[in-house]
Structure 1
Amino acid sequence: MTTNKISALCAGFCLLSTTAAAQGTPELYGQVAARVIDQEHQDRSVEAYDVRLGLRGMGQYANITAVYELEAEFTNAVNDSSDNNNDDNELEIRNARLLFPTQLGTFVIAPKTPSSQYLILYSAVDIFETNRAYTNNGVSQIFDQAETSSHVLAWLSPRKYGFQGLLSYLTGSTDSGTDSDYVTWWLEWQADEESDLSGLRAAIGQVYIDRLAVHALAEDDAVRTTATIGYTNHGLHLGATYEHSDFKGFANMDRETYGIAASYTYNGYTLGAGYYERSFDDDLMSSQDNKGTVVTLQKRFNEDLMFFIENGNFDLDGQSSLSVGAKLTF
């Protein structure tokens, strides 16, 4: 299997940052991303925001094809102000997974993996460096979807007539040790590259959250539903994502979020802008409503090196920021 085939196989589950290694030759890859950030109510800081190192490859074992990937994130360790006091939780395993491609689809076992739910349903509006679309990105808070997933079993279907789907089961536990499992699915459609609609894609998906992960007294599972549409062609990108979180018996937590984003790339320069809004159904939770705009200018010298300046303005206190940075992948 060639490197391009490995990348294509993995893309539906989670996009690999570069092409995967050839058969029998594991590839070492990584990324160093740093910025100067001036965030509301915080001191200006020079910091890492995405530092990774990983190993991946593919092999044939007793007529079974396996793709493997192991990736660690060093961002917290790099940003530790006490050079000789590294805590155990500063090194995060971002990716540890095995993928088994077959004619019936790809079967995945992943103790830790970048979330395909996030990639497929949120990438249309995830065009920024500092103000990412995932929850708890460290700066702004809009959507509820996490960037990574843990304890995952998944099946990725073959793509037929432009459609591809994924079904996954996540095992987990609450802080008290009680079992708390998740079920997720998504269905994506992509226009054929040779058609007049080339560059158009749409997807919908859901996350079923075990009631015990919501609250010890919850009687029903929570459901997060997301729909997205995107168009990318000739340097132009347009995207929109809508998310609704339904907490059933805890209706005061119900909320809906949407984002729209657009960018245009010419001669290595990309100008991008986005608008995001989150609103709770319960008026008593209106203090947690949030909306904001993000604007960025990026300069990419090649596929490995990029510089950017980005400004985000949000209603919630402490979430606005101005950042300038660089990202190098290898």
Structure 2
Amino acid sequence: MTMLKRLTLTPLAFALAAAVSAQTLAESRHNGPTFSGNVTGGVLDVRDRDLDLWTFKAEAGLGGVYTVNDGLRIRYDLVADFANAINSVDEQTWTPGAHRQDDGEIYLRTARVLLMTDYGTFGLQPRVPSGFWGQIYRNVDVFEYNRFHGQTGQNAIFGQAEQASDVLSYGTPRFGGFQFIGAVLTTNAQNDQDFDVVTGRLVYDQGPLNFGLGHTQVRRPGIDNLHRTSFGFGYDFGMVQLGGVYEHNDDREDSSGAADFDAWGVNVSANLSDAWSVSIGYAENDRNLDLDNDVLVGIVRHHFNQDVYAFLEAGRYDNTDNNVAAGISVSF
């Protein structure tokens, strides 16, 4: 076992031993499983492509929490995404999960166990939405189709992925709204390197203000030493919410390559009434090799209740395909 493995796993073993010492697993209490999901469907019109009925999101899953004692709770989640199996994906379009699978396959979006103790939360997560993306980029990720992350195909603005796999994570308890989260990812099991991605972030979320600063080191085929630094913020004024993010990608092996670039985005959202809301966002990057791009996106939503809304969204890109999307989202 390598020194890095020992340093990673020893705190986990210590915390679990301390947490379980008060009583046995046989005395645990189970809250769950609970079933939930979302179906968001409608019409997608991408430039130079036929109009198509489209599933923007189709998730269903279950989760629950075992309370072992006052010092240990065990949470589990299992969520599948069916959008890629439903849609007809090509180079001009994207669907959650489509970046690593064939058209028609169901994508397992979440499979994780979280060990929540007095000493922090330890995550064993074979497949999970990226917490890095979800906490630092969340204030600009407010649209249905134009989501900017690194797995959105031709229209990707940022390098950060939205989906992660093989994640071992640790999050400290919250102190005055602050929390630190560190993680290692073993995305390639055949490269003689246990940890292919090492990442950490400090986030703050209390009252109307949230922000986060994070750093990631990535080693993957073709890129041996990529460093990504990201900063995101948001402020809720009540009727209006403002947010932004900045990302710096430093390919220390090839500064002239496509992986070495800066990107940023801003967004303003407004609650016009209980039934209507709008968001307008702008993002751009300065990729090398004539791969730079920028986008202006707007969306209008009509909320029937807290679980159902209709939307109309449009995205205009400088160097890739514009799109218009419309549909209805139902959560359950």
Please confirm whether the aligned pair reaches a TM-score higher than 0.5, indicating the same fold: yes
1:32 to 31, 36, 39: 39
Q: In 2, Cα distance between the equivalents of 1:208 and 1:130?
A: 28
Which letter maps to 1:109? L
Between the aligned residues of both structures, percent identity stands at 30
Which letter maps to 1:203? G
Equivalences for 1:60-139 in 2 at 5 Å? Answer: 60-61=67-68, 64-79=72-87, 90-138=105-153
**Residues 247-276 of structure 1, C-alpha deviation per residue, up to 9 Å, x if partnerless?**
112111310000000010122211110111
- 8 Å Cα contact 2:151/2:162 also seen in 1: no
Q: In 2, Cα distance between the equivalents of 1:43 and 1:89?
A: 19
Instruction: Using the TM superposition, give the Cα deviation of residue 49 of structure 1 relative to its aligned residue in structure 2, in angstroms.
Output: 1.5
SS at match of 1:142: coil
- 8 Å Cα contact 1:131/1:139 also seen in 2: no
Which letter maps to 1:263? S
SS at match of 1:228: strand
- 8 Å Cα contact 1:214/1:222 also seen in 2: no
Unaligned runs of 5+ in 2: 1-28, 90-101
Q: In 1, Cα distance between the equivalents of 2:278 and 2:32?
A: 38
- 8 Å Cα contact 1:130/1:139 also seen in 2: no
Q: In 2, Cα distance between the equivalents of 1:290 and 1:154?
A: 33
Residue 292 of structure 1 corresponds to which residue in structure 2?
295
**Residues 93-143 of structure 1, C-alpha deviation per residue, up to 9 Å, x if partnerless?**
100000111111111100001110001111011111110132222562211
Does 2:310 correspond to 1:307? yes
Q: In 2, Cα distance between the equivalents of 1:183 and 1:268?
A: 43
- 8 Å Cα contact 1:200/1:231 also seen in 2: yes
Residue 321 of structure 1 corresponds to which residue in structure 2?
323
| Number of matched pairs | 288
Which letter maps to 1:25? G
Residue 161 of structure 2 corresponds to which residue in structure 1?
146
Q: In 1, Cα distance between the equivalents of 2:172 and 2:323?
A: 40
- 8 Å Cα contact 1:32/1:327 also seen in 2: yes
SS at match of 1:123: coil
SS at match of 2:134: helix
SS at match of 1:110: strand
Does 2:224 correspond to 1:223? no
Q: In 1, Cα distance between the equivalents of 2:314 and 2:125?
A: 35
Residue 50 of structure 1 corresponds to which residue in structure 2?
57
SS at match of 2:155: coil
Residue 174 of structure 2 corresponds to which residue in structure 1?
159
Q: In 1, Cα distance between the equivalents of 2:154 and 2:300?
A: 18
Instruction: Using the TM superposition, give the Cα deviation of residue 147 of structure 1 relative to its aligned residue in structure 2, in angstroms.
Output: 1.2
- 8 Å Cα contact 2:155/2:320 also seen in 1: no
Which has the larger displacement, 108-117 or 141-150? Answer: 141-150
SS at match of 2:256: helix
Which letter maps to 1:269? W
Which letter maps to 2:243? G
Alpha-carbon spacing, 1:80–1:298, altered in 2? closer, same or farther (3 Å): same
Instruction: Using the TM superposition, give the Cα deviation of residue 25 of structure 1 relative to its aligned residue in structure 2, in angstroms.
Output: 2.3
- 8 Å Cα contact 1:292/1:315 also seen in 2: yes
Which letter maps to 2:313? E
- 8 Å Cα contact 1:48/1:75 also seen in 2: yes
Unaligned runs of 5+ in 1: 1-21, 82-86, 194-198
Instruction: Using the TM superposition, give the Cα deviation of residue 229 of structure 1 relative to its aligned residue in structure 2, in angstroms.
Output: 1.1
Equivalences for 1:2-41 in 2 at 5 Å? Answer: 23-41=30-48
